[in-house]
Chain A
Amino acid sequence: MAPLLELNEVSARYGQVAALHGVSLAVDEGEIVALLGANGAGKTTTLRAVSGIVRRTGDVVFAGKRLRGGPEATARAGIAHVPEGRGIFAELTVWENLRMGAYMRRGRRPDLTTVLEYFPWLEARRNQQAGTLSGGEQQMLALARAFLQRPRLLMLDEPSLGLAPLITREVFRVVGDLNEKEGLAVLVVEQNAAIALAAARRAYVLETGNVATSGDADALKSNNAVRTAYLGY
């Protein structure tokens, strides 16, 4: 079976600076894949290249179709991208943020309550200004909003950024839940390799814009190079 998402020799640059040199990777239907690497390795750029935020060369194929166009088009194709920094609408309320998640759906009042199954605490906070939520809550809100997009693939950029370990675990628990119960495929960028490898089935390690290593998460956990570089033991 063809993978859900496939990158074929994808390159991207910022002005004169090349950030990706021919990255190839794949995410299968229903699996969690981690994208690891040091600061500046090109993880964020990889996600941005898929979404069409940065110009890219090379093919990105999603659900059998070549992706083209900007982030609007990628979202409409069925990919939810929670960007670095979460992309919350700080001045809008929690509920308005969620309504924006369902923006692409037809009908005037789409049902948002499905989200409460995974994020029950949102109900009590619905009228709170999203910018006043804690970092962990904002990350959860971004996840909830992405869930309401009804995507086939969820791309997360460093969901653990700035969060306490306990909250990070909670975020990954919800991601695992969504993956299991909804069959949602996930491509997650992480600095925290330990938690990402625990959640993921497979992983890719980026180094200066190239895929350096890839394989099953379990195999990578015991790979010496990965261990010393990213797991620190």
Chain B
Amino acid sequence: MQQFFQALTTGLADGSIYASLALALVLIYKATEVINFAQGEMAMFTTYIAYALYTHPHFGHTLPYWWMFAVTLALAFVFGVGLQRVVIRPLERASVLTVVMATIALLVILQGAAEWIWSPELKFFPSPFPTSTWVVGGVHISKQDTGTFGVTLACVLVLWLFFRFTKLGLAMRAGAVNPAAARLLGVRTSWLLALGWGFAAVLGAVSGMMSAPTQFLSPTMMDAVLIFAFAGAILGGLESPVGAVAGGLGIGILLSMLGTYVHAVTPELRLPVALAILLVVLLVRPAGLLGRVVVRRV
């Protein structure tokens, strides 16, 4: 029992990190059919920005954690919008493949920049949550895991509310379905795409700041996380935000359960196992678990 709940909470915590990154991928994919390979590096870079704030000689240690968190999210938003305006928008008329290449270039540039500015060595990153546990009915529940899960899903929920209930959110959904028609209704779709990149960067920053405390901060820290997030997004069908969140959580729980109950799955084997599962799912259901097969419009 104890073991099961421990695996479950750890799985949910990890899974929520994958889920938020998967959602960021889906956000950009749905609007532009581009897979943003730089998503992990954007997350890593904004986490370094949080680190820079945290260790800043003047206001560093006087700044409460949640202030740093909020300021980082705001900066991440500006960063995401800026990337879209400077790097992606000039490629508006280019093919999807060109844009994908640009995101790969961005990946390499961000990683190099982070190494250059902050050095590749591992850095300690603070957690807002205590390392202690709650004991509920004889089961220990990690506060760190619960907090991570709560914060990440809260961000996802806020985003969902935005898309569901605001005019701008509706316009973003409309623009993703039929950009040409949206423009005919007066929607400045180009700016909405920038907004989408801003949100994706914010989700990335959340996942980065939530995963850095347990695995330390480094320029490559999001590499594996991004792959798990990809797996989650693809499981969810790549077009479905709900699917991405469910897929991310599913991957997290699955890996945690495998690590706990199947002793052959050592930490080094997590990545190959996740990819093997992904492959099997895609072979059985090419559109992902929640996706539907889309007939391409030409």
Please report A residues at the B interface, Cβ cutoff 8 Å: 51, 53, 70-72, 74-76, 80-81, 83, 87-92, 96, 99-101, 103-104, 108, 145, 149
Contact = CB atoms under 8 A, between A and B. Distances in A.
B277 to A, nearest CB: 29
B177 interface: yes
Given A89-B174, A92-B173, A83 B186 contact: no
A20 B230 CA distance: 46
B177 A83 contact: no
A103 B181 contact: no
B203 interface: no
Given A87-B184, A100-B171, 17 more contacts: A70-B183, A71-B180, A72-B183, A72-B186, A81-B184, A87-B180, A88-B181, A89-B173, A89-B177, A89-B178, A89-B181, A92-B174, A96-B173, A99-B170, A104-B185, A104-B186, A149-B185
A44 B177 CA distance: 22
Interface in B167-214: 167, 170-171, 173-174, 177-178, 180-189
B180 A149 contact: no
Nearest to A81: B184
The 9 closest A-B pairs by CB, nearest first: A87-B181, A75-B186, A104-B186, A71-B183, A89-B177, A89-B174, A71-B184, A81-B184, A91-B177
- Chain B residues touching A, range: 10 to 19
B33 to A, nearest CB: 15
A75 B171 CA distance: 15
B177 A103 contact: no
A73 B184 CA distance: 9
A108 B169 CA distance: 12
Which of B177, B185, B187 has the largest number of chain A CB atoms within 10 A?
A: B185
B178 A103 contact: no
A103 B180 contact: no
Contact of B167 (A51, A83, A99): A99
Contact of B180 (A53, A90, A99, A145): A53
Nearest to A101: B185
A108 B184 contact: no
B180 A72 contact: no
Contacts of B188: 72
Nearest to B187: A103
Contacts of B173: 89, 91-92, 96
B229 to A, nearest CB: 24
6 contacts: A80-B184, A83-B181, A92-B170, A99-B167, A103-B167, A149-B185
Contacts of B177: 89-92
A100 B185 contact: yes
A88 B189 CA distance: 16
Contacts of A101: 185
B181 A72 contact: no
Contacts of B183: 70-72, 75
B279 to A, nearest CB: 29
A80 B180 CA distance: 13
A84 to B, nearest CB: 11
A87 to B, nearest CB: 3
A149 B178 contact: no
A100 B174 CA distance: 8
A75 B185 contact: yes
Interface string B107-133: 000000000000000000000000000
Nearest to A145: B185
Contacts of A74: 184
A101 B184 CA distance: 10
Contacts of A72: 183, 186-189
A8 B167 CA distance: 37
B186 A103 contact: yes
A71 to B, nearest CB: 4
B178 A51 contact: no
